[in-house]
Amino acid sequence: MNDAAHDLHAPHFIGIGGAGMSGLAKILAVRGAKVSGSDAKESETVLALREMGAAVRIGHAAENVPAGASSIVVSSAIRADNPELVAARERGIPVVHRSDALAALMGGRRALAVAGTHGKTTTTSMLAVALDTLGLDPSYAIGGDLDAPGSNAHHGTGEIFVAEADESDRSFHKYAPEVAIILNVELDHHANYASMDEIYDSFETFVHRVQPGGTLVVSADHPGARELTAKVAGREGLRVVTVGAADDATVRVVSVVPRGMTSEVTVELDGAPLTFTVSVPGRHYAHNAVAALAAGVALGVPAEQLAKALGSYTGVRRRLQLKGEARGVQVIDSYAHHPTEMTADLEAIREATGGRVLVVFQPHLFSRTQQLAEEMGQALALADASVVLDIYPAREDPIPGVTSELIIDAARRAGAEVTAEHVFAAAPALVADLARPGDLVLTMGAGDVTNLGPEILSRLAAVAV
């Protein structure tokens, strides 16, 4: 497998186990590339890649880079002093950013890119599952696994390539989709964006990357998205389709009726009503499905067929994923880490259950906590009780004075019942003691809080009724 701009016939991935990186590695391996890589630790994803023939080493060391590596693929999370990156530069091996590799993989396909501050993974997944259900065998690259490890990407035989387009490091500027979705526009990724003006400029650049004659599907409800729509209105060769409950939406959401862990959605499309089922709870997921519907229709997929197929999407790992039930307590995992996401997921869970909602929240990134602690605390007030863990640093160094206590204080000011837990391993026992039959426990955050679900279930099962 070779590409005119980037030689990807023998790529070496630094951090190959990451959500975005592993998907690209999988597609390249299926296309016949000799894939190698390294990651900080063993994982199910690493094992899945090895089963596909990728040579993956644990730990980062200069000697991990194969002699025959044609390029080094990195994400923005890889630091300049990474020993493999240093060795590659010394040896003159081309360094390719993850976004450039994805752009190369999309070449020659009808690309559909999903952008927005929230909801990208879910909406991309909905499209991938629905198009596959219709027998169109799309290629896709998603920022999360659909079900099993390694299910975040697929090399399909069809002409459509659906990709999650990440704005966090402006890497979505590399893509040139036929159809683009923008779900919402908010200030986030504070290490890379200093203001909303910078955010708008970045999304506007993305819109201008849509191919001439292409389509932009954008929210008619979200204030930031409406502002962006006004900025790009009138661009020659761009068809704009707005979606949402607003009266002026091109595809208008008439109603979203909760039915337990599903919703019945009715939209007005081309002047006629269309009703279909969304098999995950919450109004925000219903709106994601409508955006997916509008985008698929823009690619020529019949609306009624696509609407029915969207019902076959039952969720993605870490997006309100049921981990299990023990002693009458359900445990669900949520990737939500921004206040808007937290609020949306908690409201969805409130609609779907009549019991108490207990949250185990792990803040993600010092910079995000510094900027949004007050809003995170207000979101936690929607739960009946919360346990807040220490900040998951990911790629960041600590910021003096920025701890999870900022969120805890804000939550208490909003009337929330909050307990701080600074020992990660102690959280499952604490939650098991708090929970009682009929409750729902939500592990929430973008870090390793997801690992607590099975531990909480084990603790619950071990407690005598």
**Residue numbers annotated as active site:** 120-121, 164
C-beta separation of 260 from 221 below 8 A: no
Pairing of the two strands 139-141 and 153-154:
antiparallel
C-beta separation of 103 from 27 below 8 A: no
> How is residue 461 written in tokens?
């099962």
**Helix-helix angle 303-310:283-298, to 10 degrees:** 150
**Diameter over CA atoms, the chain:** 67
Q: Report how far residue 396's alpha carbon sits from residue 392's, in angstroms, rounded to the nearest whole number.
A: 9
C-beta separation of 161 from 111 below 8 A: yes
C-beta separation of 443 from 437 below 8 A: no
- Give the number of other CB atoms < 10 A from CB of residue 254: 12
C-beta separation of 339 from 445 below 8 A: no
Radius of gyration from C-alpha coordinates of the chain? 22
Kindly give, in sequence order, each residue whose CB lies less than 8 Å from that of residue 419, ignoring residues fewer than 6 positions away: 385, 386, 387, 388, 430
What torsion, rounded to 10 degrees, do the Cα atoms 402, 408, 411, 415 define?
Answer: -150
Q: Report how far residue 299's alpha carbon sits from residue 84's, in angstroms, rounded to the nearest whole number.
A: 41
